[in-house]
Structure 1
Amino acid sequence: MNKSIFLFAFITIILSSCAEKKSREVYNGTAKEAIINNILTRRSIREYTDQPVPNKLIDSIMKCAIYAPSANNNQSWELRIIKNKQLLDKVNDHFLTYAKTKKLSGHAALANVPGSGFHSFYKAPVLLVLAHDKTNPYSLLDAGLITENILLSAHALGLGTCPLGSLVTIFTNPDNQDIIKPLNFSDNFEPCLTIALGYPNENPLPKERFSDKVKYVE
Structure 2
Amino acid sequence: MSELLKNEALKNLFERRSIRSFKSEQIKDEELKEILEAGKYAPSAANQQSWHFTVIQNKEILQKINDVAKSAFEKSGIKRYEERAKAEDFSAFYNAPTYIIVSADEKAIAPIADSALALGNLFLAAESLGIGSVWIHAVNFLYTTEEGKALFKELGIPDGYVTYGSGAFGYNAGEKPKPAPRREGTVNIIK
C-alpha distance in 1, partners of 2:27/2:36? 13
2:70 aligns with 96
Task: Tell me the secondary structure at the aligned position of residue 193 of structure 1.
Answer: strand
Superposition map of 1:126-141 within 5 A: 126-141=98-113
C-alpha contact (below 8 Å) 1:103/1:109 kept by paired residues: no
Superposition map of 1:46-57 within 5 A: 46-57=20-31
Deviations 1:35-66 (A, max 9, x none): 21110000011110101111110001111111
Superposition map of 1:67-146 within 5 A: 67-104=41-78, 109-113=83-87, 115=88, 117-146=89-118
Task: Tell me the secondary structure at the aligned position of residue 114 of structure 2.
Answer: helix
The list of structure 1 runs, each at least 4 consecutive aligned residues, that deviate by more than 3 angstroms after superposition, is 102-109, 171-174
Q: TM-score, normalised by structure 1?
A: 0.78
Unaligned 5+ runs, structure 1: 1-30
1:5 aligns with none
Identify which of structures 1 and 2 has the higher relative contact order when contacts are C-alpha pairs closer than 8 Å and 6+ apart.
2
Matched, 1:204 2:145: no
1:147 aligns with 119
Unaligned 5+ runs, structure 2: none
Max Rg structure: 1
Q: TM-score, normalised by structure 2?
A: 0.88
Shift of 1:196: 0.5
Shift of 1:133: 1.1
Matched, 1:170 2:142: yes
Q: Identity of aligned pairs, percent?
A: 27
Aligned residues: 186
Shift of 1:183: 2.2
C-alpha contact (below 8 Å) 1:159/1:198 kept by paired residues: yes
Root mean square deviation, CA, Å? 2.0
